[in-house]
Structure 1
Amino acid sequence: MNNRIFRSMRTRLGLLLLASVLLIAAGCQAIGGLDFNKALIQSLKVTSSESKGSVQFNLQLNEAALDSGDYNEDEIGLLRLFSNITLKFDEMKQQDRNHVSIKGKLILGDKYNIGFIVKQDKETLVMELEGAKAPFVLDLTSEGLLEVTGQTFDGELTPETEQSLTELGFKLTDLIGGYAINNLPNPKGLKVAPVTESINGQQVSLLHASFEMNGEEMLAWVEGYLEALLKDEAGLKAMIKGFVQLMSDEPELWGVLGVENPFASSDSLDAPTADEIADEMAQEMVAFMKDMQEELKQDKQNEYLASSGVFTDALKLKASFYVDSKLDIRKSQAEVSYTDPTLAEQEEEGYYQPFTGFTVKVENEQWNVGGAVTADKAVAAENAVDAEELTWLENYEILGYFDENSDLYSLLKNELHMARQTYSAYSDDYYNPPIIVPGYITIVSLRDVGEAFGAEISYDAASKTATLYDALTDTTIKVKVGSDKAVVNGVTEIWPFPATKINGSVYVPARKLAEALGADISWEPLYEDIKELVIEREL
């Protein structure tokens, strides 16, 4: 857990948002009869449960910015569409660490409501999307996943090895929890009180813990956590030594990975002992945490971060947890919000950000924790599509897997423009730039535009004829270097400038080429004398 925390801390602007996540999942000293440290460790060990929940994201749009002319119609449309997102999990069943099923929906404002079902076992993940013509299947075996990434796998993952690795995970949880979790300080303003709450329609007696913190308090919490970790030298050394011992005693792990155990004892006289390895790792960890402390100090002095308000009331966190007598977290609610305090300065400078703030809300409740749960089976239908196939397709080809009358198809085509093809080039490009010739005629590389649209290009040196075939529109274009005649689907046209060979590439009039391909064309000014040529079409 601590490695993930420290790595994330390096992201400066995300620093206090990370603190929010940590605080949401944080343990603390026992208060009001509730030991959050034990509850957190307990939650990491849960292997079966039933639950439901949601994640909501709201973006507060800056209407002045949207009306300023700085954003085009597509950008404004996407901002509005994704300013209100809800991911609902109506039914989640975790049978064990390998068998899970989820039913839910993705809601985008009041425009799109897309249902989904995910079923997973240790070998297969099946996803059914509302609007898809067939389910999608992903091979989760080591061989399958590595095949997707182009890697190889030589290990053998037997049921016995899987069980051994699962037990190893539990041991690591206990080991790391003894240091990383037990040193977590109390969030400021933590309150604990007994309550009765409805969980899946049943009234349950619980301990309710809640707190609120702003950006300044979250930063202080992170600083206090780092200080506590550094002071606990004995805990750090015990954790590192225990980790080294566990790793050296697990030949199955390294066998599965197909690599030599770096922690195994060696007969070499100059080989470091397990204690020496642990001491070196502990020293590196201490140095790393001290670096993080120094970065925090620098961040507090950073003018940009200070002006952004992340160290003030502009950033806020609210969290509530409901824990039962077995220390299982049965219900949780968390909200992170941010309001940009620099809006007045933006107005003075004439620069507008498209949003003024955001809110993220996460809710979850679970029951039958640790009980007998049966997840829906991950059985692929006969017409299921291998998800790996999609990685080799063009965006417009992927659309063919969805019903044209569905919300999902509309989202992909009309909002995300997956059927859009675009060629763009800048007037100062080094390689094949668009060129404006006398008469204010723009000429472009036939090959570059054709390839951007997925067309086939060929050139006959003997006749000096270039041929473009666009299968998507069944269009054939032939031009001859030095001639202003173009043959489009067998019909000869006179173009305003002859086909010209420049640095090995055949150039033709851009507007006539765009018309032949059913595309729109425009010059977009950028700055000074630099412009961008855009040729674009929707299939």
Structure 2
Amino acid sequence: MSRVKAKLKWFLPFVALMLVLAGCQSVGGFDVNKALIGDVDVKSSESSMTFSMNAEPIEGISAEDKEMVDLINSFSLNISKAKLQDNGSLSAQGTVGYKQLNIPFTLFMDKQTLAFTVEGAKQPFYFPVQGYDEILGEVGLDTAKAEDVSKLLTKFVVKNLPNPGVINITPVSDAVYGEQLNMTKLHAEVTGDELPALLKGFLKSVSKDTEGFTELVGGLYDYLYPVIKAMDEDGSGDIFNLGFGDIPLDDKEAVVTVLHDAAKLAVDALLLVYDNQVDSLYKSTPEMKTVLSKDTKLSVDIFVDSAQHVRKQNVDLKVALPGTEDFPLKSLSLKASSQIWNIGGAVTADPISTEGALDISSGLTPGETLRNFAPDSDVYRILKDDLGITKRTIVIEPDDEYYYPIVDKNTTYIPLRYLAEDLDATVEWDTANRAINVTDGVYGDKLVFKIGSSEALINGTAVKLAQPVFVDEYGDAYVSLRLLAEALHATVSVDEDGWITIVRK
């Protein structure tokens, strides 16, 4: 397995770690649903959060896999203060833990810009989002209606998920951001072997929840109607067909009824084969018996105040894994905790000035990214040494049909533009001087090659060429491969069969 594939396999389990916990019934007189959806309409608040991971490897793990395990276990996120302003602006400050380092960062987002900066950066980075609402509006989408749909979906899911086997409440007195509060603590636990039954219970509840299901479908209709209407170019209004006959698009009641009935039919059909499908999953994918076992466990503590606002949360998730050679982990654990205060209060997010900031919307080259950090900063070292954003490896065979190398008197010549651009350099043609200007994308060095000249300029210093720069029949300018590669901070090696390897670190 290549090193790239070995790294990619570590990201696969994160796709399947979204476990949702809720309760459809009250516990000891405490309305679980009301507590969990109590913050849906909160417009302003301040909060903090911590997050960490822990991977448990199998015995005899390889050195490369151990390096990745150590990297996972070193990662942490600590948001010391996040501010949500009632106009939708958001700011956050905190640190990212990485290999015994704690790297400070700040972030700000409003309707125009997403901006962030990291310790060691000379200027902030930003991504322009101005006009997002206008773009959505042009295709008929309304962000306010999107929020309404989100609320409906949250309430619908929370209402219909069944209670797990362990769920209880306790009155507690605890501190939130230095303030002692009397709260209700909701504690719940879910194990992997409970999940199939919980999902089945959810589907059964959904099938019976005609009112909630209809309300959700109605909200989706209100959100998507303008888009679908815009697609109805002939104005007939009869494009909506689900196999139950033509239904006028603007007949909301009829459309919602058909959609609800079709969705309910699909849920009921799934319930009929649910147990067999679960058994089939276990047979076809035996590893799921480990993942969906009692060793997989989610524990949640939620602290709710008298106004039904969640003020603190502690989440502890451990996922049992089969521990194979391709994925050598026994388990992966995630821990997160948060607290929230100043709910609905006067909160002002902390903006980040974008004057002189780097626009990442069109993509930054490795050099542009790296040059924005002080060379002695931790992030510079991580980007260059650990992540290797400037690393390039190019292999050229003797009869390569892309580079078309030419060998003359033991010197290999290569099309200048091809190799320079593959090493992240920019290439510009100087018509007046019939010269090619090359700028190193990582280190900023300036190279000048003049057609027909036996000299090149490297950072203003003349360098003798083995042969003058020449142009082939296709208009490609050729220069010495080794001279160009080394001028762009790469090394060149040639094996006994004439294969050339160019490496830049």
Moved more, 420-429 or 501-510: 501-510
Q: 1:274 aligned to 2:274?
A: no
Q: Cα–Cα, structure 1 residues 405 and 189, in superposed 2: closer, same or farther, change >3 Å?
A: same
- Aligned equivalent of 1:240: 217
Give the deviation of 1:91 after TM superposition.
1.2
Moved more, 319-328 or 58-67: 58-67
Q: 1:81 aligned to 2:71?
A: yes
- Aligned equivalent of 1:331: 312
Within-5 A mapping of 1:251-262: 254=226, 260=230
Match of 1:408 among 360, 379, 391: 379
2:158 maps to a residue whose letter is I
Report % sequence identity: 24
Give the deviation of 1:198 after TM superposition.
1.7
Q: Cα–Cα, structure 1 residues 488 and 287, in superposed 2: closer, same or farther, change >3 Å?
A: farther
- Aligned equivalent of 1:320: 301
Give the deviation of 1:449 after TM superposition.
2.3
CA contact (8 A) 1:60 1:83 kept: no
- Aligned equivalent of 1:131: 120
Helix, strand or coil for the counterpart of 2:37? Answer: helix
- Compute the RMSD of aligned alpha carbons: 4.7
Q: Cα–Cα, structure 1 residues 62 and 441, in superposed 2: closer, same or farther, change >3 Å?
A: farther
- Aligned equivalent of 1:47: 43
Q: Cα–Cα, structure 1 residues 220 and 466, in superposed 2: closer, same or farther, change >3 Å?
A: farther
Within-5 A mapping of 1:302-381: 303-304=284-285, 306=287, 309-343=290-324, 346=325, 353=327, 355-370=329-344, 372-378=345-351, 380=353
Give the deviation of 1:186 after TM superposition.
0.3
Deviations, residues 121-158 of structure 1 (Å, cap 9, x unaligned):
44444434222223344444326x88xxxx7975999x
Give the deviation of 1:318 after TM superposition.
1.5
Q: Distance in 2 between matches of 1:290 and 1:440?
A: 75
Q: Distance in 2 between matches of 1:16 and 1:120?
A: 28
Helix, strand or coil for the counterpart of 2:346? Answer: coil
CA contact (8 A) 1:209 1:322 kept: yes
Q: Distance in 1 between matches of 2:449 and 2:280?
A: 59
Within-5 A mapping of 1:348-497: 353=327, 355-370=329-344, 372-378=345-351, 380=353, 383-388=355-360, 391-418=362-389, 420-425=390-395, 431-432=401-402, 447-455=417-425, 469=438, 471=440, 472-475=444-447, 491-492=463-464
CA contact (8 A) 1:153 1:258 kept: no
Give the deviation of 1:206 after TM superposition.
1.6
- Aligned equivalent of 1:181: 158
Q: Cα–Cα, structure 1 residues 238 and 366, in superposed 2: closer, same or farther, change >3 Å?
A: closer
Q: Distance in 2 between matches of 1:48 and 1:470?
A: 48
Match of 2:24 among 25, 28, 50: 28
Give the deviation of 1:364 after TM superposition.
0.6
Give the deviation of 1:366 after TM superposition.
1.2
Segments of 5+ residues of structure 2 without an aligned counterpart are: 1-11, 239-245
Give the deviation of 1:452 after TM superposition.
0.4
Helix, strand or coil for the counterpart of 2:339? Answer: strand
Q: Cα–Cα, structure 1 residues 432 and 363, in superposed 2: closer, same or farther, change >3 Å?
A: same
Deviations, residues 208-240 of structure 1 (Å, cap 9, x unaligned):
122222222123222221222123345423443
Deviations, residues 330-356 of structure 1 (Å, cap 9, x unaligned):
11111222343334xx3xxxxx54654
CA contact (8 A) 1:450 1:468 kept: no
Q: Distance in 1 between matches of 2:398 and 2:283?
A: 36
Q: Distance in 2 between matches of 1:45 and 1:326?
A: 13
Q: Distance in 2 between matches of 1:416 and 1:16?
A: 25
Deviations, residues 485-536 of structure 1 (Å, cap 9, x unaligned):
98665555669xxx99799978888667644543134699xxxx9x997522
Helix, strand or coil for the counterpart of 1:197? Answer: strand
CA contact (8 A) 1:422 1:537 kept: yes
Helix, strand or coil for the counterpart of 2:17? Answer: helix
Q: Cα–Cα, structure 1 residues 385 and 223, in superposed 2: closer, same or farther, change >3 Å?
A: same
Q: Distance in 2 between matches of 1:62 and 1:274?
A: 56
Match of 2:180 among 189, 197, 203: 203
Deviations, residues 299-328 of structure 1 (Å, cap 9, x unaligned):
723533535721223432121111122221
- Aligned equivalent of 2:89: 99
Give the deviation of 1:30 after TM superposition.
0.5
Give the deviation of 1:95 after TM superposition.
2.7
Q: Distance in 2 between matches of 1:177 and 1:454?
A: 46
Q: Distance in 2 between matches of 1:339 and 1:448?
A: 48
Q: Cα–Cα, structure 1 residues 241 and 466, in superposed 2: closer, same or farther, change >3 Å?
A: closer
Helix, strand or coil for the counterpart of 2:39? Answer: helix
Q: Distance in 1 between matches of 2:136 and 2:146?
A: 24
Q: Cα–Cα, structure 1 residues 454 and 102, in superposed 2: closer, same or farther, change >3 Å?
A: closer
- Aligned equivalent of 2:107: 118
CA contact (8 A) 1:131 1:402 kept: yes
Q: Normalization by structure 1: what TM-score?
A: 0.70
Q: Distance in 1 between matches of 2:87 and 2:351?
A: 14
Q: Cα–Cα, structure 1 residues 128 and 392, in superposed 2: closer, same or farther, change >3 Å?
A: closer
Deviations, residues 264-307 of structure 1 (Å, cap 9, x unaligned):
x9888972522221123224433554687668637723533535
- Aligned equivalent of 2:502: 535
CA contact (8 A) 1:104 1:116 kept: yes
- Aligned equivalent of 1:7: none
Q: Distance in 2 between matches of 1:88 and 1:153?
A: 36
1:410 maps to a residue whose letter is R
- Aligned equivalent of 1:3: none
2:170 maps to a residue whose letter is A
Segments of 5+ residues of structure 1 without an aligned counterpart are: 1-11, 347-351, 460-464
- Aligned equivalent of 2:62: 66
- Aligned equivalent of 2:3: none
Give the deviation of 1:363 after TM superposition.
0.6
Helix, strand or coil for the counterpart of 2:293? Answer: coil
